[in-house]
Structure 1
Amino acid sequence: MSATSSRTSRRLLAAALAAGAVIGAAALPASAADSDRARAPRVEISAVQYDSPGRDDRSNRSLNREWVELTNTTRRAVDLDGWTLEDEDGHTYTFEGYRLPGRATVRIHTGVGRDTRTDLYQDRRNYVWDNRSDTATLRNDRDRFIDDESWGNDRHHHGGGNHHHGDRGHHGERGHHGDRR
């Protein structure tokens, strides 16, 4: 092999390696984007109003003042169809045909109402969330744990949200919602 053809071969090899490096670098962000897409969307329980303000009279107004909020912390909409929100006693609300927009919050009320973009209703005639202690658990459509929020005696918060309660304190003077179900 002559010196000229050897130099030409090395230049071609260098050019090929450089082109491969450029292509590899361009493909890297696509791989990172693919792994971001593969990660589950982040939806969390952001607030709970388990002790509805006012008298516990099982009125629809009182029932709808008991709620759980979910927040989508990502920029992309999340399809919640088939997801569930459940209390410790097994009262379960299943989301049907609802998409939570990116960076948005939806409030799930206990009572009866007309679903909107920001408010969903369980259509129940009895309270769900126990005033003294309970846990709200969110699961996806494959029954995988997403988040939870606990309150009351010996409860430990495992999720990413905050809980709110009525004016009567952490345990409430009104007692245990379980007595009123």
Structure 2
Amino acid sequence: MSAYSNTKRDTCRAGAGVAKLWVLGTRRDTHTVHGSRSGPAAVHTHRWGTFVSSRTTRRIAAAVLAATAALGATALPATAADGDRQQARRSHVEISAVQYDSPGYDNGSNRSLNKEWVELTNTGRRAVNLEGWTLADEDGNTFTFRHYRLRGHESVRVHTGEGRDRDGHVFQDRDEYVWDNRSDTATLRNDHDRRIDRESWGRGHGGGHGGGHHRR
């Protein structure tokens, strides 16, 4: 009997008056087989269904419940952590270098701001559309990529200051520094907000200043 079968209790009586179960989907000619209280379980067959005894009913119900439980177990969705791990394995984009301390005196000029950057590299052969991807620091300052496609085996630097986006360089258009010279973390997420990569430096992250530059 398939899982398609639908059931409902019927109040009719057969022989000794055993409780019956209506099973949809069975097409048979109309006839009745009578049973006794001590004899075989009564079975009534009609054109659109079959009446079966309560003992058979319990067996069928148990089988349906077992099948439903098995389907539920196999249909459980993956957890968020599993999704992150799978996405990380599929993606070939990573944070390859960070210039978190702009060389020279930090005078806040646009030139100085643009010497602070994070570099992303596509280590795969196929291009990756970065539309909607984000790059953020520990304080939540976030840059969102717009209309940028990173070709295979190429890199792009995300500069802090203002500028015109071009191949290999995009700009956050900020007027102040983003990355902390002492300690910070750069986190890259895709357009589904799944973490792709993370790079940390400084105190609490197993390193010092390192000359203001961090490379994987």
TM-score by length of structure 2 reads 0.55
Q: Which runs of 4+ in 1 moved over 6 A?
A: none
Give 1:133's match in structure 2, choosing from 160, 183, 203: 183
**Shift, 1:149, TM fit:** 0.7
Structure with bigger strand share is 2
Is structure 2 residue 119 aligned with structure 1 residue 73?
Answer: no
Aligned equivalents of 1:57, 1:112: Cα separation in 2: 15
Aligned equivalents of 1:92, 1:156: Cα separation in 2: 24
Larger of the two Rg values belongs to structure: 2
In structure 2, what is the equivalent of residue 147 of structure 1? 197
Kindly tell me the number of residue pairs found equivalent between the two proteins.
Answer: 125
Once the two structures are superposed, residues 42-70 of structure 1 have per-residue CA deviations (whole angstroms, 9 ceiling, x without a partner) of 10000000000011111001000000000
Aligned equivalents of 2:110, 2:90: Cα separation in 1: 35
- What is the root-mean-square deviation of aligned Cα atoms in Å? 2.0
In structure 1, what is the equivalent of residue 34 of structure 2? none
In structure 2, what is the equivalent of residue 93 of structure 1? 143
In structure 2, what is the equivalent of residue 83 of structure 1? 133
- Does the aligned pair in 2 maintain the 1:80–1:97 contact within 8 Å? yes
TM-score by length of structure 1 reads 0.65
Aligned equivalents of 1:83, 1:63: Cα separation in 2: 22
- Does the aligned pair in 1 maintain the 2:126–2:152 contact within 8 Å? yes
In structure 2, what is the equivalent of residue 46 of structure 1? 96
Aligned equivalents of 1:151, 1:77: Cα separation in 2: 29
Amino acid at match of 2:173: D
Unaligned runs of 5+ in 2: 1-88
- Does the aligned pair in 2 maintain the 1:113–1:123 contact within 8 Å? yes
In structure 2, what is the equivalent of residue 60 of structure 1? 110
Once the two structures are superposed, residues 56-101 of structure 1 have per-residue CA deviations (whole angstroms, 9 ceiling, x without a partner) of 1110010000000000000000000000000000000000111000
**Shift, 1:135, TM fit:** 0.1
Larger RCO (CA under 8 A, 6+ residues apart): 1
Aligned equivalents of 2:109, 2:123: Cα separation in 1: 33
- Does the aligned pair in 2 maintain the 1:48–1:164 contact within 8 Å? no
In structure 2, what is the equivalent of residue 166 of structure 1? 212
Unaligned runs of 5+ in 1: 1-38, 158-162, 171-181
- Does the aligned pair in 2 maintain the 1:44–1:71 contact within 8 Å? yes
Residues 65/84 of structure 1: CA separation in 2 closer, same or farther (3 Å cut): same
- Does the aligned pair in 2 maintain the 1:50–1:165 contact within 8 Å? no
**Shift, 1:165, TM fit:** 3.8
Residues 156/138 of structure 1: CA separation in 2 closer, same or farther (3 Å cut): farther
Aligned equivalents of 1:63, 1:164: Cα separation in 2: 19
Amino acid at match of 1:139: R
**Shift, 1:134, TM fit:** 0.2
Residues 140/127 of structure 1: CA separation in 2 closer, same or farther (3 Å cut): same
Is structure 2 residue 180 aligned with structure 1 residue 107?
Answer: no
Structure with bigger helix share is 1
**Shift, 1:119, TM fit:** 0.4
